[in-house]
Structure 1
Amino acid sequence: MTTRRDFLQKVTASAILLPLPAWVMARQPYDGPVLRVALMGLGGYATRVADAMRSCTKAKLVGAISGTPAKLTEWQSKYGIPARNCYNYDNFSAIKNNPDIDAVYITTPNSLHHSQVLQAAAAGKHVICEKPMALNAKEGAEMVAACKKAGVKLLVGYRMHFEPKTLEVIRMRNNGDFGKVLFFQGLCGFRIGDPTQWRLNKQLAGGGSLMDIGIYAINGARYMVGEEPAWVTAQETKTDPVKFKEGVDETIQFQLGFPSGVVASCLSSYSMNNLDRFFLNGDKGFAEMQPSTGYGPIKGRTHKGELTQPHATHQTIQMEEMAGIILEGKQPIVPVDGEEGLKDLKIIDAIYEAVKTGKKVALKL
């Protein structure tokens, strides 16, 4: 049997060995501002976020938006959401008159993000939007502009930007532990199931694997290397044109070139498992992470040994940190704002152009 004293001794010993993130330290009684959030699109990922928010101190789930009445009823009961804070997609704009809600977190299919972000901004609510932020850079730029005009913040659900092992690799890179960075590899993929799901619908997803799992490799290349790419080349492979119809990519390989000479080789696939891997190589050392972007725990090692930062639910950390960004003006180590999301959309546009033309496409981010 573990006593309270044993537990406290273990926690104290761990605190001496490992620096704990600020959100962990905030487990002490918190009486500061709380971000009151409504989730839009009550699917599987929204449920994951809602469950994770039970452990938050700076963020609280207070509202729900769905086109399915039964889901709204279920969420009212499960998460204690008042009926007055529940909306459907037709009356969503009325959220403007609800002082109980500060921000809307959008977890709907990709093609809906643009219009829903514009609606939320017009209602005067801060917005957190799942990635990819939109279907293309044109939509993304309009979303950034709309939120600026409305005076609200636009954040993107880049949960890995707060993940402790990821941040440790970034710290080591900034500290020069890897020396001159030379190469990055990002492998992201899984075998997708149900052929009728929205992720395989061009109108809803905007593409295929690249618009879903591939964005992790795109974004990961940027934050692992610490530069913005200058060019991209890309190739598409399709083995099942029935399941992966026109405009829905099955597998895309793409290469990024950076101003310093770093090159990145990445792969995005809906037809292979065991691909959740990042590798960063420099002339003095390396970092390898596998899994690198899954829900956790993330595992990794460098030339100095295993990464041992403690695991915590990604969505809990994300919502705590995003509350700090919105309410307190905190600056994250890696940006999560709309401009960050727009850069990834510009790269996605360029990858699809490179696939279509077979040419190297210049990037201006």
Structure 2
Amino acid sequence: MPHYSRRDFIARLGLGATALLTAPSIISNARAIPQDKKISIALVGLGYYSEFQLAPAIMKSQYCRLGGIVTGTPAKAEKWKKQYNLPDKSIYSYETFDRIANNKDIDVVYVVLPNSMHREFVIRAAKAGKHVICEKPMAVSVKEAEEMIAACKKAGVKLSVGYRLHFEPFNQEAARFGKGDFGKVKMVESSFGFKIGDPTQWRLKKALAGGGAMMDVGIYAIQASRYSTGEEPISVTAQEFKTDPVKFKDVDETIFWQLEFPSGAVASSMTSYASYIERLYISAESGWLELNPAYGYGPLAGKTHQGPLNLPIVNHQAAQMDDFAKCIFENKESNVSGEEGLKDLKVIEAIYRAIQTGGKVKI
């Protein structure tokens, strides 16, 4: 079997022939959004996600435009400059990034860098007076996340985390299902894993990634458990396994974990860099919901005990960024704020502690 990259796996269903919408209904109730102005976003880091997901999504969005880029590769800067007609004043290197403070044409900085670099560039963006979107996980530790939140609050800028699935209809339905239409949620199964490729990539280096599968796709499973129950977990047990200790000598390969919630609901989850799994199953007192595939770029699919879910197919990232634009225009906090990212990191740190101790850890 060939080795696939993370991007191959998440995007394997493709955007191809499926007509992608930008979910205008998500922001149709916005007040006082000026129709002649768009929020200008500068992408920091021009890897696959920026090039093939975020930039195209900005082009599909209603309230955003690509206003600048930050890259350490001159060839990329030149390519993007021509492709998106970007002015020289809005093209930065990592060394010149702080000059963005003087660029009134840029409203938002979107940090799309290896996990260990998130803290530095979020704080630098905040000091430059720019609102910030940070890819998940927002940091490699709870301490770093708290520092990032504090820096943005001090600077008076908004901080959002790239949780695109909060704006995706199938996952929105999972969150609605968990609110009790079919009784209390009793059990959740949420898992996301894939077979990672290139052994030299940054995701397999702890200094850059902060961890392995857990810090990458595992966070989707944690998120799903939280929004499916509508609760925050109170304790966790966890187990780690490695089928390839050489390739995964620096980071976790496969982790299973079990969460307990205040209502008595439980979640059983796993993440892996060694095998393929992508599923969310919610069992309530008088019904169930399943998403499979659940977390990729789409199209996603799902069903309940009543039959298939027929929901719109949207561009997740466009909907996500349009919602943040709405937050800026209306001066309100994002539903996927830094505090939301902090909650996931508290769970992740508890999972790692549970692995080390072999016992139940309170969250």
Q: Normalising by structure 2, what TM-score?
A: 0.90
Deviations 1:56-76 (A, max 9, x none): 120111100011111111111
Kindly indicate whether the alpha-carbon contact (under 8 Å) linking 2:178 and 2:227 is maintained by their aligned counterparts in 1: no
Map 1:51-90; keep pairs closer than 5 Å.
51-90=56-95
Structure 1 partner of 2:288: 286
Partners of 1:24 and 1:308 in 2: how far apart?
21
- Tell me which of 312, 323, 326 is aligned to 1:324: 326
Residues 211, 250 of structure 1: CA spacing in aligned structure 2 closer, same or farther, 3 A cutoff? Answer: same
Q: Distance in 2 between matches of 1:56 and 1:20?
A: 9
> Is the contact made by 2:279 and 2:292 (CA closer than 8 Å) also made in structure 1?
yes
Residue 315 of structure 1 corresponds to: 317
For the 8 Å contact 1:178–1:281, the answer to whether it is kept is no
Q: Unpaired segments of 5 or more residues in structure 2? A: 1-22
Alignment of 1:1-365 (within 5 A): 21-23=25-27, 31=35, 33-47=37-51, 48-174=53-179, 176-246=180-250, 248-273=251-276, 275-329=277-331, 335-363=335-363
Aligned equivalents of 2:351, 2:26: Cα separation in 1: 37
Structure 1 gaps, min length 5? 1-18
Counterparts in 2 of 1:309 and 1:24: CA distance versus 1, 3 Å: farther
Q: 1:313–1:266: structure 2 CA closer, same or farther, 3 Å change rule?
A: same
* Per-residue Cα deviation, 1:264-297 (whole angstroms, up to 9, x for no partner): 0000100001x11000001110110011110001
Q: Per the alignment, do residues 102 and 331 of structure 1 end up closer, same or farther by CA in structure 2, a change over 3 Å counting?
A: closer
- Can you list the C-alpha shifts for 1:219-256, whole angstroms capped at 9, x where unaligned? 1110111100000111000011110013x000000111
Output the CA distance in 2 between the equivalents of 1:330 and 1:112. 27
Distance 1:305 1:222 in 2: 24
Amino acid at match of 1:240: D
Q: Distance in 2 between matches of 1:151 and 1:310?
A: 36
Q: CA deviation at 1:306?
A: 1.2
**Inter-partner Cα distance in structure 1 for 2:182 and 2:143:** 37
Q: 1:197 to 1:24 in 2, by over 3 A?
A: farther
**Equivalent pair of 1:32/1:58 in contact (CA under 8 Å):** no
Structure 1 letter corresponding to 2:144: E
Per-residue deviation, 1:24:
7.6
- For 2:174 and 2:196, the matched residues in 1 are separated by 30
Change (3 A) 1:73 1:141: same
Which whole-Å CA distance do the structure 2 matches of 1:318 and 1:232 have between them? 30
2-structure distance, mates of 1:281, 1:132: 27
Task: Indicate the percent of aligned positions where both proteins have the same amino acid.
Answer: 53
The alignment covers a number of residue pairs equal to 338
Deviates more, 1:162-171 or 1:147-156: 162-171
Counterparts of 1:123 and 1:139, CA distance in 2 = 19
Please report the TM-score for the alignment, with normalisation by the length of structure 1.
Answer: 0.89
Note the alpha carbon deviations across 1:153-203, whole angstroms, 9 max, x for none. Answer: 0100000001012212322332x3221110001110000000001100111
For the 8 Å contact 2:236–2:350, the answer to whether it is kept is: yes
Higher mean alpha-carbon deviation, 322-331 vs 73-82, is at 322-331
Distance in structure 1 (CA, Å) of the matches to 2:239 and 2:312: 38
3-state secondary structure, aligned to 1:236: strand
Indicate how the Cα distance of structure 1 residues 86 and 154 shifts in structure 2: closer, same or farther if over 3 A, else same: same
Q: In 1, distance between residues paired with 2:342 and 2:253?
A: 23
Q: Cα deviation per residue 1:199-226 (whole Å; 9 max; x = unaligned)?
A: 0011110110000010001111101111
Asked whether the equivalents of residues 193 and 274 of structure 2 are also in contact (C-alpha less than 8 Å), the reply is yes
1 or 2 for the larger relative contact order (CA 8 Å, sep ≥6)?
2
Three-state SS of the structure 2 residue aligned to 1:54 is helix
Deviates more, 1:88-97 or 1:74-83: 74-83
Separation (CA, whole Å) in 1 of partners of 2:285 and 2:299: 28
The answer (yes or no) to whether the contact 2:27–2:326 under 8 Å persists in 1 is no
> Which secondary structure state, in structure 2, belongs to the residue aligned with residue 281 of structure 1?
strand
Residue 12 (structure 2) aligns with = none
Alignment partners' CA distance in 2, 1:204 and 1:224? 30
* SS at structure 2 position matched to 1:355: helix
Greater alpha carbon shift after TM alignment, 214-223 vs 162-171:
162-171
Give the counterpart letter for 1:110 in structure 2: N
Measure the CA separation in 2 of the matches of 1:230 and 1:236.
Answer: 20
Per the TM alignment, residue 25 of structure 1 is displaced from its structure 2 partner at its CA by 9.4
